[in-house]
Amino acid sequence: MEQLPLWGGRSTVSPRHAIPLLSKSRFMAGLQCKKRLYLECYEGTLREDLSPATRALFDAGARVGLVARGLFADGVKVGVEGMPHEEAVQSTLQALAPGSRAIYEAAFKHDNIRIRVDILAPAGSGAWDLVEVKSSSGFKEEYLPDVGIQLHVLEGAGVPIRRVCVVHVNSQYVYEGGPYELNRLFAVRDVTAEARKALPRLRAALEEMRAPLWAWAAPDIAVGSHCKKPYVCPFHKHCHVDQSDFPIEKMPRMNPKLLRALREADIDDIREIPEDFEGLTDLHRRIRASVITGRVHQDPELKLALAALKPPVHFLDFETCNPALPRFAGTRPFQQVPFQWSDHVIGADGSLAHHKFLHLDDTDPRAPFVRSLVTALGTEGPIVVYSGFEARIVRSLAEEVPGFREELLGIADRMVDLLELIRTHYYHPDFNGSFSIKDVVEALIEDLAYTDLEIQEGSQAATAFIEMIDDGTPPEKRRSLECALLAYCHRDTEAMVRLFQKLREGG
């Protein structure tokens, strides 16, 4: 006889009457971490809001998906936004019947899993090709479980599949203007054999991930490298809330071997790392000492290097866009196209001037960008940047924009990387393992931040620029975006000036 719980609690024999349906995204979450899957199903309110960068990636992926449909033209889209999945399944079955047109976002359900297929293309004799569209520049191993679970559902639902394909962007395609040449813009990879080979493993994983969903509490899974692989988990903060102030994950430039060795030694906090632990770099030892003592580490070489920079001293920052779908003739998918610069200049008398450029219309910004930059920077004075990004862009422009090669190479040679100087010679415990300009400014400059800005990171700036130059954007919105872009780029070079002044004085 089954014994009833004494205190009226839930039965441990049948803890739930049912568990939620899985989707492709939930299945992928379960492969990353079963705790993440549980939270996705039952504690979705704990998810972190999408970052602007992630949102921009999703929007870009959606645009790529729409354009890729042109490879299978004259198809039919299933349902409308917000349509219940069961209705979408019925609409898909109706579209399947003729078997002569591609189906976009086809909906299926099998084995308590629901999926939407990017493109289901007719392959003749009643068979179909499963086509998954990715907005990346190549194939990645994590795509196999993605298409594999779709294959499992489709064939379980009685749909004969001839091929499984991944469509991705061809980064070598050079856009010549006008309509895209889709057969050159996209590459199609047949992964049928790999997907079928993966099916037994995926089915086993499917059964394993369903078991925790019958429980009333999330599985107890320790944080680790899987929290950020293949993507940062949307419950990362929730699972890391009880960590120390200095977890080893915040140690920058930590290779997997060293991280694994620290975990095997039961070391979770930077302050617990022995000074002679094998694999530590000079940077790691400097950070360890700083957080243990609570004191700033500053080598005298930093102050000397900054003092050696004689006026005029320029502080330069670029903003670029790198759309998956190239917008300007002569560019490739994902090519970095600069559209804005900001330059603060400290003169010989200590005065501070500011110059700026922002391209405002829907034309290739590179030539006007270069002309204005060469004029503003002249031929004198060091150019302080934060990372090697600006130098790489300038050297690329030297090859792309005729007539300015020597001037641009000269500009690149004058650049001084403030990030590398700080990373080599300075550390503050409040950096929290990050050398991003925002984190460094937050730790060192009390009255300067980015939180008051509408645009707070580069991916937002890129998205804002594309929206600003679009003909469909209302004039008032264009002006708002222009102001936000100018304010953001200005803040970056202002921050460099403030950091330069503080660190040069030994702050």
Residue located via tokens 């500011």:
354
pLDDT value of position 7: 36
What is the per-residue pLDDT for 378? 96
In sequence order, the 6+-apart residues with CB closer than 8 A to the CB of 380 are 312
Q: Which pLDDT band, with edges at 50, 70 and 90, does 14 fall under? A: low
Cα–Cα distance for residue pair 48/239, rounded to 1 Å = 11
For residue range 171-210, what is the model confidence (pLDDT) as tens digits? 999 999 999 999 999 999 999 999 999 999 999 999 999 9
- Mean pLDDT, to the nearest integer, of 284-299? 96
What's CA 456's distance to the chain center, in Å?
A: 15
Could you tell me how many residues make up the chain? 507
pLDDT at 387 over 80: yes
Taking only the tens place, the pLDDT of each residue in 110-155 is 999 999 999 999 999 999 999 999 999 999 999 999 999 999 999 9
Does the pLDDT value for residue 9 go beyond 60?
no
Q: Which position has the token pair 């039952």?
A: 42
Rounded to whole angstroms, how far apart are CA atoms 199 and 91? 27
Q: What angle do CA 250, 489, 376 make, to 5 degrees?
A: 130
Task: Please state, as a whole number, how many other Cβ atoms lie within 10 Å of the Cβ of residue 43.
Answer: 13
Among 58-62, 380-384, 469-473, name the one with the lowest average pLDDT: 58-62
Quick one: pLDDT band at residue 400, thresholds 50, 70, 90?
A: very high
Residue closest to 317 by CA, chosen among 483, 484, 494, 460:
494
Q: What percent of the chain has pLDDT over 90?
A: 86
First to last CA, the chain: 75
Span 11-30, mean pLDDT? 83
Question: Which band of pLDDT confidence, cut at 50, 70 and 90, is reported for residue 218?
Answer: very high
**pLDDT for the residue numbered 506:** 76
- Give the pLDDT band of residue 6 (cuts 50, 70, 90): very low
* 3-state SS assignment for residue 165: strand
Q: Where do you find CATH 3.90.320 in the chain?
A: 22-212
Q: Is-contact 175 331, C-beta < 8 A?
A: yes
Task: Output the six-digit token pair for 127.
Answer: 């068979």
Q: Are 115 and 150 in contact (CB under 8 A)?
A: yes
pLDDT of residue 224: 81
- Output the pLDDT for position 4: 40
Residue 507 predicted with pLDDT over 60: yes
Is residue 357's pLDDT more than 80? Answer: yes
Burial of 8 (0-12, 13-18, 19+ CB in 10 A): exposed
Pairing of strands 113-124, 22-23: parallel
Which pLDDT value is given to residue 81? 78
> How large a percentage of the chain has pLDDT more than 70?
97
* Predicted pLDDT of residue 425: 96
- pLDDT range class, residue 249, cuts 50, 70, 90: confident
Q: In which band, very low, low, confident or very high, does the pLDDT at 315 lie, cut at 50, 70 and 90?
A: very high
User: Token pair for residue 445?
Assistant: 């400059």
The pair of three-digit structure tokens given for residue 272, joined into one six-digit string = 């617990």
Over 50: is that where the pLDDT of 157 sits? yes
The full DSSP string for 362-393 is SS--HHHHHHHHHHHHTT-S-EEESSSHHHHH
Element (H, E) at 502: helix 475-504
CATH architecture of 302-504: 2-Layer Sandwich (3.30)
- Average pLDDT along the chain: 93
Q: Give φ, ψ of 226 to 5 degrees.
A: -65, -15
Residue ranges matching CATH 3.30.420.10 in the chain = 302-504
At 328-350, the pLDDT tens digits run: 999 999 999 999 999 999 999 99
Residues 406 and 376 sit within 8 Å (Cβ to Cβ): no
pLDDT at 472 over 90: yes
**Average pLDDT in the 257-276 region?**
93
Question: What CA–CA distances, in Å, run from 363 to 152, 174, 368?
Answer: 46, 16, 10
User: How far apart (Å, rounded) are the C-alpha atoms in residues 427 and 42?
Assistant: 41
Q: pLDDT band at 97, cuts 50/70/90?
A: confident
The yes-or-no verdict on residue 11 having pLDDT over 50 is no
DSSP code, position 268: -
Torsional sign, CA 458, 462, 463, 467: positive
Q: Is 415 helix (H, G, I), strand (E, B) or coil?
A: strand
**With bands split at pLDDT 50, 70 and 90, how would you rate the model's confidence at 15?**
low
Looking at residue 51, its pLDDT comes to 82
Query: Is 22-212 CATH 3.90.320?
Result: yes
Contact 137, 171 (CB under 8 A): yes
